[in-house]
Amino acid sequence: MGILNPIFASKVCEFPAIFNLGDSNSDTGTLSAAFTPPNSPYGDTYFHMPSGRFSDGRLIIDFVAKSFDLPFLSAYLNSLGTSYTHGANFASARATIRFPSPIIPADGGYSPFYLDVQYQQFMQFKERSQIIRKQGGKFAKLMPEEEYFREALYTFDIGHNDIGAGIFSNMSIEEVKASVPDIVNTFSIYVKNIYELGGRSFWIHSTGPIGCLAYVLTAFPSAEKDSAGCAKQYNEVARYFNYKLKEAVSQLRKDLPLAALTFVDLYPVKYSLFTEPKKYGFELPLIVCCGYGGKYNYSDAAQCGETITVNNTKMVVGSCDNPSVRVKLGRIPLY
pLDDT in tens, 262-271: 999 999 999 9
pLDDT in tens, 82-121: 999 999 999 999 999 999 999 999 988 999 999 999 999 9
pLDDT in tens, 314-330: 888 875 554 433 332 33
Q: How far apart are CA 248 and CA 304, in angstroms?
A: 36
Q: Give 248's contacts (C-beta < 8 A, 6+ positions apart).
A: 184, 185, 187, 188
**Is the confidence at residue 5, as pLDDT, over 60?**
no
> Cα dihedral sign for 255, 200, 90, 263?
positive
Nearest to 294 by CA among 283, 284, 306, 302: 302
129 φ, ψ to 5°? -65, -35
How many helices (H) and strands (E) the chain has is answered by 9, 7
Residue 80 burial class via C-beta count within 10 angstroms: exposed 0-12, middle 13-18, buried 19 and up: exposed
Q: Helix 232-255 vs helix 267-275: angle between axes, to the nearest 10 degrees? A: 160
Q: How many CA atoms lie within 13 A of 167 on its CB side?
A: 23
Determine the average pLDDT of the residues in 15-28: 97
Nearest to 167 by CA among 116, 218, 205, 118: 218
Neighbours of 93 (CB within 10 A): 27
Q: What is the DSSP letter of 148?
A: H
Q: Looking at the DSSP assignment, which residues form a beta bridge with residue 202?
A: 154, 261
* Minimum mean pLDDT range among 35-44, 176-185, 217-226, 232-241: 35-44
**Is the confidence at residue 331, as pLDDT, over 70?**
no
Q: What pLDDT is recorded for position 3?
A: 41
Q: Give 233's contacts (C-beta < 8 A, 6+ positions apart).
A: 173, 211, 223, 224
* Minimum mean pLDDT range among 4-8, 52-56, 190-194, 307-311: 4-8
Q: How far apart are CA 304 and CA 291, in angstroms?
A: 5
Q: How many CA atoms lie within 13 A of 145 on its CB side?
A: 7
CA angle 285, 48, 334 (to 5 degrees): 35
Neighbours of 309 (CB within 10 A): 9
Chain centre distance of CA 59: 9
pLDDT in tens, 124-137: 999 999 999 999 99
Helix (H, G, I), strand (E, B) or coil at 151: helix
101 φ, ψ to 5°? -155, 130
Q: How far apart are CA 114 and CA 98, in angstroms?
A: 7
Q: How far apart are CA 117 and CA 94, in angstroms?
A: 13
